[in-house]
């Protein structure tokens, strides 16, 4: 059947599952519905009944001590950042200065949001990807052929006063706790940008892009992964790279995040109170391919619910993203086309986001 004939059939079927995973689990469930079963080659490898086979290699992500970054050891820390961004596309940040209460309160209030009755949560359900608040399930719930085991709440967060009035009013302390979290994450992002630019030997005080990033976009994505009766058959999130410049990820104490490292999926051990920071597609473009936006995915488990909060930061939605002129010369021609948010939206809303296909579509292929 041609794609134009299949699409309406999928959209009709998807309506049955649009209320999301939490709703499904609340009704009681002992098996994963077919809609959530991934093709065998995409599934995580478990032994029976649901014990995850750990990869041979146990990955320790580079750890950046933020306090050190602000002290005399800055040059050394910057070198670690460079290595981490070139090799893994990921690192973990400790001693970042955000009070433990701010991140704990955020996780806790998000848990309470997902425990609200479905009718309350679904007030924010919309297919409009530029809505200030969007509640939903899977990745693209009207288009996905296979669903992932994840419900989400997405909040546009910068400039905050423009968006805050649209954020959920229940639980009653949601807005204030989430606003504090968003503001402090933004500050942390700005310090991270300075370090990243310096690590690329770009002077942040002179650079146009650095100024744009200060007034850039921020999207806070809260992910909720309820326990799954058959975690070996599904994924919390399929392999993807993040769209923005940098993502600052906060997780509770339940593991689930895996990154692709040397063609193997490796689990990231959560360090309580730390942030996992990863290079997004825009930083890969901006650094002209020097820093890599690496594929990652999320596994679920049969016992513990998991919450993560990803804060995606980038240029303003109206900006055109391109390789930095400071990194381009005769020997280093641009590797990526200029790209904007509208092109991205058009791309993702017309197909399933898979692997790094958006970024791939922006690459310039030269014949040597
Ligand atoms: O839940 C996680 O650990 C990762 C979430 C993620 O990759 C995302 O929101 O883009
Ligand atoms: Fe991600």
- Give the model confidence (pLDDT) of 94-128 as tens digits: 999 999 999 999 999 999 999 999 999 999 999 88
Residue 111 lies in a domain: yes
CA–CA distances in Å: residue 154 to residues 3, 123, 127, 129: 29, 13, 12, 9
Task: Extract the tokens encoding 320.
Answer: 């055109």
Half-sphere exposure of 121 (CA within 13 A, CB side): 24
Could you tell me the residue range of the domain that residue 310 belongs to? 9-362
Query: In this structure, is residue 4 part of a structural domain?
Result: no
List the Cα angle 283/276/247 in 5-degree steps.
35
**Is the CB–ligand 1 distance for residue 310 below 6 Å?**
yes
Q: Quick: pLDDT tens for 14-65.
A: 888 899 999 999 888 999 999 999 999 999 876 555 556 565 555 788 999 9
For residue 172, being part of any structural domain is answered with yes
Ligand 1 pocket, residue 254 CB under 6 Å: no
Instruction: Please give the pLDDT value at position 343.
Output: 82
Please give the average per-residue pLDDT across 156-167, as a whole number: 97
pTM, entire model: 0.93
Cis? peptide before 173, omega within 30° of 0:
no
* Closest residue by CA, ligand 1 atom 10: 242
Sign of the dihedral defined by the CA atoms of residues 145, 146, 152, 157, in that order: negative
ipTM strictly over 0.95?
A: yes
Domain-embedded: residue 2: no
Residue 121: inside a domain, yes or no? yes
CATH number at residue 85: 2.60.120.330
Residue 120 falls within a domain, yes or no?
yes
Which of 115-124, 202-211, 242-251, 315-324 has the least mean pLDDT? 202-211
Number of domains comprising the chain:
1
DSSP letter assigned to residue 271: P
The closest-lying atom of ligand 1 relative to the alpha carbon of residue 278 is 7
Residue 109, in any domain of the structure: yes
Residue 368 forms part of a structural domain: no
User: What's the order of all strands across the beta sheet hosting 237-240?
Assistant: 237-240, 296-298, 257-261, 264-267
């Amino acid at each position: 059947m041609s794609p134009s004939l299949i699409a309406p059939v999928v959209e009709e079927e998807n309506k049955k599952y649009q209320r999301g995973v939490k709703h499904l689990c609340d009704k009681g469930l002992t098996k994963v519905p077919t809609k959530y079963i991934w093709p065998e080659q995409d599934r995580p490898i478990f032994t029976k009944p649901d014990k995850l086979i750990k990869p041979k290699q146990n990955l320790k992500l580079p750890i950046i001590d933020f306090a050190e970054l602000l002290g005399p050891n800055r040059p050394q820390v910057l070198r670690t950042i460079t290595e981490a961004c070139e090799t893994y596309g990921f690192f973990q940040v400790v001693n970042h200065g955000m009070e433990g209460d701010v991140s704990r309160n955020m996780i806790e209030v998000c848990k309470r949001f997902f425990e609200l009755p479905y009718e309350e949560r679904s007030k924010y359900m919309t297919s409009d990807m530029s809505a200030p608040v969007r509640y939903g399930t899977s990745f693209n719930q009207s288009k996905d052929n296979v669903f992932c085991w994840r419900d989400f709440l997405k909040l546009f967060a910068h400039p905050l006063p423009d968006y805050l009035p649209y954020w959920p009013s229940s639980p009653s302390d949601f807005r204030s706790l989430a606003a504090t979290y968003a503001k402090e994450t933004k500050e942390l992002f700005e310090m991270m940008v300075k370090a990243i630019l310096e690590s690329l030997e770009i002077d942040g005080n002179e650079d146009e892009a650095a100024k744009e990033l200060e007034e850039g976009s921020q999207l806070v994505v809260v992910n909720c992964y309820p326990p799954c009766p058959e975690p070996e058959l599904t994924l919390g999130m399929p392999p993807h790279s993040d769209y923005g410049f940098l993502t600052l990820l906060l997780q509770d104490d339940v593991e689930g995040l895996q990154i692709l490292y040397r063609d193997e999926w490796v689990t990231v051990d959560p360090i309580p109170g730390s942030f996992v920071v990863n290079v997004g597609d825009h930083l890969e473009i901006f650094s002209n391919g020097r820093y890599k936006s690496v594929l990652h995915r999320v596994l679920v488990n049969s016992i513990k619910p998991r919450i993560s909060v990803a804060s995606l930061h980038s240029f303003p939605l109206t900006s055109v993203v391109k390789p930095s002129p400071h990194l381009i010369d005769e020997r280093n021609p641009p590797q990526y086309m200029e790209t904007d948010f509208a092109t991205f939206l058009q791309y993702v809303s017309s197909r399933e986001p898979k692997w790094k296909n958006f970024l791939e579509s922006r690459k310039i292929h030269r014949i040597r």
